[in-house]
Structures are given as C-alpha cells and as structure tokens.
Amino acid sequence: MPRLFAPPTVIAHWDTLIENLQTSSLEFYKGVEEALTKRELPDSRTLRVDWQEGGVLSARREYVRVTRGRYRFDVCAAPFGRGFFVSWWLGEPLPSGVIPTVLTLVAFYFATGMMRESFGIRPYLFLGPMGGLVPLASALLLVLGVFLAIGVFIPESPLDAYIMAIPFIGRAYARLCRPPTYYRLDMALMFQSAVHAAVLDVVDSLTKVNGLRPLSELERKPILRVFCNNSRHST
C-alpha cells in the first residue's frame, strides 16, 4: 500500500460529521468501493493508500483513492467522538520536477549527439557555429516533438503531471496539449459528481439504517476551488 506525504493541488473538497453514527472506516470504504463498481466509471481505478498524519515517523491514515487521468480522489472516513467523520479531496498530483527535468536534459544530450552524427559533423566541430547550432536546434525540435506526440496521441494520465513539472516545457505542454477546455472541465466535474454520489449513497444508507437525520442539501454540497478561479463556491 503506497505511503504518501504531500497532498496534491486541491480542486474541490467535501466533509461532514455525522453525529451519533458508530461504524468502522473499513466498512465505509467497502461500501464506497461497491458503490463505485456499480457506477462503472470509465478509465478509473480504485485502490487503498496511506497518508502520513504528520512527518516521516508519524502514524498513517488509510484512504480510498479513485484515479481518472490526472485527477485523484482521496476519500477519508473515521470515527470522531460520538460521531463519524467523512471527507474527500479531489486534486492533481504535484510531483517534483527534478527527475523529469534531468531525464529531459539527458534525452536532449543524446538527441544532440545523434543529430551531430546525422549531419556528419565531427566532434572537434561540435562547438563551432554550424557544429553546435544545427544539432542543438534539431535535437530541441526532436525532444519537443516527442512531448507533443505524447500530448496528442496519449490520453490524459498521471504522466502529464511529470511533464508539466519540467521548466518551460511544462508550461508549453499545458497550453498546447492540456488547455482548460469546456470538455476537460466537464469531464472533471462528471468524475467529481460520480464519486461524490457514491460517497453520499453510503452516508445515506448508514443514516437511514441507524435512524439518524439525513444530510441537508447544504451539507451535501462540495466546495469547488480551482474551477471557480480559486474562490470558495459550492457546486
């Protein structure tokens, strides 16, 4: 089971404390997983992950994670006092840009060497005007072409986050290949609505079985962040 430390960029969040409900986190997670299976969400994957409560040596808290493309849902459920707390976080991963940047530089180095050989430029001319600029420009176009091909022919995935973490290239990749179109935003909202509905199904079932007050309409609404220009509006 993965152990995670830093949370992703938060897009939306929801939480509630259900008074006088006594159940286990494992039973709640099982119900959520069953509700998600019934919905048959396309291109999604469900697994259990552990988030650190604090630093490296702190205790771990188990979450249910639902992933689709570059979006991640982390669902938390735990007893709290005489009640039961439920929350979820929808976000995008925030990987470090060090490794993808280093790999890109290595690829650029080898691409430059390959282009130098293709143009028949000898090693001692590598730093000359023609020996340097032509292979470097060709190698740069080759590397950029590879990233462009990934963005065009490969669907959205966690790989996007690593590419976007590369300085300069990441911003260009996001603008050209992953712009915030209506379609992308609608797909993200569909994903959010489906997982949220699955969580609410379990909450409603538990409150009904235990004779507790159902959640109000206001309590059922998530807080949307990034999609509303970082303002805290309900959806």
Pairwise pLDDT comparison (215 vs 142), residue with the higher score: 215
**Tens-digit pLDDT profile for residues 43-59:** 899 999 887 666 565 66
Average pLDDT, the chain: 82
Is residue 226 predicted with pLDDT exceeding 60? Answer: no
**Which residue is it, tokens 């991640």?**
72
pLDDT at 233: 38
Q: Tell me: the pLDDT tens digits for 129-172?
A: 444 566 677 778 888 888 889 888 888 887 888 898 899 888 88
Domain ranges, ordered by start, for the chain = 3-93+183-234, 98-157
pTM: 0.73
Give the distance from CA 155 to its chain's centroid: 14
Angstrom distance (rounded) from CA 201 to CA 193: 12
Question: What CATH architecture is 3-93+183-234?
Answer: 2-Layer Sandwich (3.30)
